[in-house]
């Protein structure tokens, strides 16, 4: 029995389209609302994490400034130990920071690093002077039953510092509020120097943000449902119109076939012209990819510069704080200023070199030239050094001979950057223990050389492996990858430098190797 007949085809089309559109509308609305709720929670979590991370940096900076002060006093040969300790206590007791200046520095003197009821004495505590000089227990629990002193003691024995969250009485209130504290060991005196901030302001702002986002989310849900319903009504009316017109479409079918046949014949006549146009479009697309690749490399390099500058900026901040402190105490000397000036010059020279490396990397090469493979690799690594160290990634360069090749140096460095960036991403993503990247060079005969870049990230899972060199193919998520880095790298090596770029997996991970001709112009 035929369901679709010539006399009911319009009705069948209307009913089918209506059912399909209604089902699509329901599913789309459901998943759209679910996605919005997920994004809503993710945004709140990210906001909370960001603010807590900022507070951690803030606390560490405050404690580090106190440590610098103690170092300064401790190294002053004109002050005996007893006087030095009193100066330090007076200084720490005077410190107030944060909103309404309610935050303070407190110090434990550790008696037993293994913990216990008398593991330490409270040495300094401006908020609880009644505890100063008394023994304290590592088994003390906060309002939530958390033994936070056990936690920070464990971290300090292991790494010398600790961040801990717990509930504690806030000054000028009777409430026990969630608090974030940073603890750092000063070994000479067995002091644990700490600072904390109360997180009630963060919780309040998060709740306000939650209320605002929920209100906005409800409006978006209402708008989404309304838009989809209107779309469904329009689509339904269109289905009715489509059904009424279907007979006419059948009647005009033969005319359309004849028209398409004529267009096809005309297309065949103009095929050569169309081919040329498509070739030109492909060239424009290739130029677009090259430009996009440069901007991606620019973003990668800017990220690396941020890592390179982080340490010298921290050192500069520390130096300036010490200079201000010396000046306020009237202890400034020409020798001290000269030494600190030399330290500042050294840091600025390092930062300036980073900028020079970055500038040289992006100066376009107008002509091919002979350049050193080893120097090109070291130039890229000098900029990536901090970002790699930040992830504990070790890079081994096994290039004994200073081999030179002919080509565009900045483009070749871009290839090395792309491969190293992919290796770094794989090592971090797979949480590799002892992550390592090895760069080695082999000379094959008199003219041919092979550059190998290996990692121990476990290898490339894509099959066939050559697919990774296709444009817009990526195994990364959409926020981390664009799929043109390796495509552009292969284009640079094989088209611009007349070499080859391939990849394979060994027992430890991925291996990229580049075949080039030494000193060959092409």
Q: What is the pLDDT of residue 163?
A: 94
300-517 topology per CATH: Heat Shock Protein 90 (3.30.565)
pLDDT greater than 90 at residue 438: yes
Rounded Cα distance between 156 and 135, Å, is 19
Average pLDDT over residues 364-378: 79
- pLDDT band at 493; cut points 50, 70, 90: confident
Average pLDDT over the chain, rounded to an integer: 79
With CA atoms as reference, report the closest residue to 35 among 46, 24, 27.
Answer: 27
pLDDT digits (tens, 9 = 90+) for 113-128: 888 999 999 999 988 8
In terms of average pLDDT, the best of 181-185, 233-237, 398-402 is: 181-185
**55: buried, middle or exposed (CB in 10 Å: 19+, 13-18, 0-12)?**
buried
- N residues, the chain: 522
Those residues with Cβ within 8 angstroms of residue 162's Cβ, 6 or more apart along the chain or in another chain:
151, 152, 154, 155, 156, 182, 183
- Whether omega before 464 lies within 30 degrees of 0, making that bond cis, reads yes
pLDDT greater than 80 at residue 129: yes
Kindly list the domain boundaries of the chain, sorted by start residue. Answer: 300-517
State the maximum Cα–Cα separation within the chain, in Å, rounded to a whole number.
109
Q: What is the pLDDT of residue 78?
A: 83
Decide the pairing of beta strands 135-136 and 120-124. antiparallel
The answer to whether 199 touches 52, Cβ cutoff 8 Å, is yes
| Torsion angle, alpha carbons of 358, 361, 362, 367, to 10 | 150
pLDDT digits (tens, 9 = 90+) for 55-106: 889 899 999 999 999 988 888 878 888 888 889 999 999 998 877 777 889 9
With CA atoms as reference, report the closest residue to 489 among 403, 397, 417, 387.
Answer: 417
Q: What is the pLDDT of residue 45?
A: 83
Dihedral angle sign, alpha carbons of residues 213, 214, 218, 221: positive
Residue 392, phi-psi category: left (phi > 0), alpha (psi -120 to 50), beta (remainder): left
Token output for 504: 């394979």
Helix (H/G/I), strand (E/B), else coil: 510: strand
pLDDT greater than 80 at residue 321: no
Q: What is the pLDDT of residue 119?
A: 92
Average pLDDT over residues 328-334: 77
Share of the chain above pLDDT 90, in %: 18
The answer to whether 192 touches 156, Cβ cutoff 8 Å, is yes
Alpha helices in 165-199, H assignment, sequence order:
none
Q: What is the pLDDT of residue 522?
A: 43
Q: What is the pLDDT of residue 276?
A: 63
pLDDT greater than 50 at residue 450: yes
**243: buried, middle or exposed (CB in 10 Å: 19+, 13-18, 0-12)?**
middle
CA-CA distances (angstroms) from residue 484 to 160, 417, 418, 419?
Answer: 44, 13, 10, 12
Average pLDDT over residues 227-245: 73
The answer to whether 517 touches 494, Cβ cutoff 8 Å, is no
Token output for 235: 């689509």
pTM over 0.85: no
- pLDDT band at 380; cut points 50, 70, 90: confident
In terms of average pLDDT, the best of 118-127, 219-228, 313-322, 442-451 is: 118-127
- pLDDT band at 412; cut points 50, 70, 90: confident
The answer to whether 414 touches 292, Cβ cutoff 8 Å, is no
Bridge partner residues of 500 (DSSP): 515
């Amino acid at each position: 029995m035929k369901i679709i007949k010539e006399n009911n085809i319009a009705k069948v089309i209307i009913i089918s389209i209506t059912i399909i559109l209604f089902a699509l509308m329901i599913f789309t609305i459901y998943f759209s609302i679910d996605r919005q709720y997920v994004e809503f929670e993710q945004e709140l979590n990210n906001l909370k994490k960001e603010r807590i991370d900022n507070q951690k940096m803030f606390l560490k900076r405050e404690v580090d400034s106190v440590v610098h002060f103690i170092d300064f006093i401790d190294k002053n040969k004109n002050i005996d130990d007893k006087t030095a300790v009193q100066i330090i206590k007076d200084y720490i007791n005077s410190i107030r920071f944060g909103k309404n200046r309610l935050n303070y520095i407190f110090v434990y003197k550790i008696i037993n690093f293994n913990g216990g009821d008398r593991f330490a004495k409270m040495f300094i505590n401006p908020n609880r002077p009644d505890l100063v000089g008394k023994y304290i227990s590592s088994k003390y629990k906060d309002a939530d039953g958390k033994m936070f002193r056990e936690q920070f003691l464990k971290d300090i024995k292991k790494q010398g510092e600790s961040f801990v969250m717990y509930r504690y009485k806030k000054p000028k209130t009777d409430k026990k509020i969630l608090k974030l504290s940073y603890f750092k060991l000063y070994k000479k005196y067995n002091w644990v120097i700490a600072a904390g901030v109360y997180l009630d302001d963060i919780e309040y702002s998060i709740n306000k943000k939650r209320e605002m986002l929920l209100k906005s989310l409800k409006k978006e849900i209402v708008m989404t449902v309304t838009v989809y319903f209107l779309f469904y009504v329009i689509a339904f009316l269109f289905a009715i119109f489509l059904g009424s017109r279907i007979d006419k479409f059948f009647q005009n079918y033969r005319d359309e076939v004849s028209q398409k046949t004529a267009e096809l014949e005309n297309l065949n006549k103009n095929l050569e012209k169309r081919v040329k146009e498509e070739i030109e479009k492909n060239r424009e697309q290739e130029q677009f990819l090259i430009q996009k690749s440069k901007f991606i490399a620019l973003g990668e390099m800017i990220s690396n510069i941020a890592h390179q500058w982080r340490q010298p900026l921290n050192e500069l901040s520390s130096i300036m704080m010490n200079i201000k402190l010396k000046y306020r105490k009237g202890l400034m000397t020409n020798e001290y200023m000269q030494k600190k000036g030399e330290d500042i010059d050294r840091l600025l020279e390092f930062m300036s070199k980073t900028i020079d490396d970055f500038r040289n990397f992006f100066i376009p090469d107008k002509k091919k030239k002979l350049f050193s493979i080893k120097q090109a690799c070291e130039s890229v690594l000098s900029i990536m050094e901090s970002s790699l160290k930040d992830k504990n990634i070790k890079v081994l360069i096994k290039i004994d001979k200073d081999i030179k090749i002919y080509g565009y140096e900045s483009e070749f460095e871009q290839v090395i950057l792309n491969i190293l960036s992919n290796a770094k991403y794989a090592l971090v993503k797979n949480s590799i223990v002892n992550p390592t990247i090895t760069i080695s060079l082999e000379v094959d005969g008199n003219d041919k050389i092979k550059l190998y870049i290996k990692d121990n990230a476990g290898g490339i899972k894509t099959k066939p492996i050559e697919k990774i060199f296709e444009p817009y193919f990526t195994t990364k998520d959409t926020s981390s990858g664009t799929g043109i880095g390796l495509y552009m790298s292969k284009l640079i090596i094989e088209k611009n430098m007349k070499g080859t770029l391939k990849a394979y997996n060994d027992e430890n991970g991925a291996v990229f190797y580049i075949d080039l001709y030494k000193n060959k112009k092409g």
